[in-house]
Amino acid sequence: MDYKTFFEKIDAYDTIVIFRHTRPDLDALGSQIGLAEAINLNYPSKRVYMVGDDLGRYSFIGKMDIVEDDIFKDALAIICDVACQALVSDKRYKLAKEVVVIDHHKNECDIEDASTIIDTSRIACAELISHMLYDQGKRINAYGATALYGGIVTDSGRFQYNATTSSTFRIAAWLLDSGADMEYIYDHLYVETLAQRKMKNYFSNHYVTTNDGVAYMFNDKDTLAKFPDVTFFDISRGMVNLMAGIDEIKIWCNFTYDAENDKVVGEFRSRGISIVEIAKKYGGGGHANACGATLKDFMEAELVIADFKNLLKEKGGESIEH
């Protein structure tokens, strides 16, 4: 679906419900909130709702709406930052009259009967949505711009990851001109509690490095029990990049036991080598240098590590020694 058709759809519906993936990051939430604010501003007669699970550490950015089932039947559902039905938080998009998916991930869309706007060249879904608004001459308010800016800043690793483009900066500039509060975002991203800092220090001392360029953590039940006050996500995604930025380590992964589902969730990151094919081999996906997969157990995690080691042996070229 092109941008123009998308906004015609908005025009055609009185009720619009915006969805995103479970365990949201700031890109999912920023996309949702930014789009909701833009619709409210540019189409003041519409009823716009946002739905989804707990905001976790990102509750500073806003909150979800409580929505009854009966509002969906005449509604347009817009799903942001995910194209995989299993990961959509709140399955009631299935009750909606029509579904549009806006995403920047490389996975195939498996959401039935959905129209899609998928642009994998965008570093953040929030960048894609901002670009759609800008391109079609829509306005954004300061709060919406702040939310979208937050999505771009986090998904781009503070404008650092390879897929950051000149367009990313142009869109960020437009958001700042529209009143985005950079300081508000950075204050919330960088300030942490003493307990969080101590937790980081713990995990910094508990990862394994190998001579093959791979580092990893196994966070089992006992490890998680040491940190009862944090969410699964705080450890799984929150700790993986403690292993980033080490010359000898090209691929790093964090394997965390998910008690709710009795699975092991793997978060994989890399520098200078694409690893998403291995994530896909284990039923996962994501981006070239940042992806993940849900595994049966830690035995399967060992297989993933072996695959990463082999990948570096095959593609690494120069030997990695230390």
Binding site for Mn ion (CB under 5 A): 27, 81, 125, 155
Q: Whose Cβ is closer to Mn ion: residue 25's or residue 212's?
A: 25
Per the structure block, which two tokens stand in for 208? 């394994």
The candidate with the shortest Cα–Cα distance to 153, out of 114, 198, 187, is 187
Q: Whose Cβ is closer to Mn ion: residue 185's or residue 199's?
A: 185
Query: 193 to each of 26, 219, 242, 307, how far by Cα in Å?
Result: 19, 21, 17, 37
* Separation between Cα atoms, residue 113 and residue 97, nearest integer Å: 10
Residue nearest to Mn ion (CB): 27
In angstroms, give the least distance from the CB of 132 to Mn ion: 15
Q: Whose Cβ is closer to Mn ion: residue 30's or residue 213's?
A: 30
Q: What is the enclosing helix (H) or strand (E) of 264?
A: strand 263-270
The candidate with the shortest Cα–Cα distance to 21, out of 66, 41, 51, is 51
In angstroms, give the least distance from the CB of 83 to Mn ion: 11
Task: Decide: 25 and 119 in contact? Cβ < 8 Å.
Answer: no
* Separation between Cα atoms, residue 275 and residue 268, nearest integer Å: 8
Q: Whose Cβ is closer to Mn ion: residue 144's or residue 213's?
A: 144
Q: How many CB atoms lie within 10 A of CB 4?
A: 11
Q: Whose Cβ is closer to Mn ion: residue 21's or residue 250's?
A: 21
Instruction: Name residues whose C-beta falls within 8 Å of residue 321's C-beta, 6 or more positions apart in sequence.
Output: 211
Q: Whose Cβ is closer to Mn ion: residue 62's or residue 316's?
A: 62
In angstroms, give the least distance from the CB of 285 to Mn ion: 12
Q: Whose Cβ is closer to Mn ion: residue 157's or residue 179's?
A: 157
In angstroms, give the least distance from the CB of 155 to Mn ion: 5
In angstroms, give the least distance from the CB of 249 to Mn ion: 24
In angstroms, give the least distance from the CB of 191 to Mn ion: 23
Tell me the helix, strand and coil percentages in the chain, rounded to 5: 45, 20, 40
Torsion, Cα of 143, 148, 153, 154 (10° steps): 110
- The single-letter DSSP state of residue 44 is T
Q: Whose Cβ is closer to Mn ion: residue 80's or residue 304's?
A: 80
Angle formed by the axes of helices 26-42 and 125-135, nearest 10°: 20
In angstroms, give the least distance from the CB of 272 to Mn ion: 22
In angstroms, give the least distance from the CB of 124 to Mn ion: 5
Phi and psi angles of residue 117, each rounded to the nearest 5 degrees, phi first: -125, 95
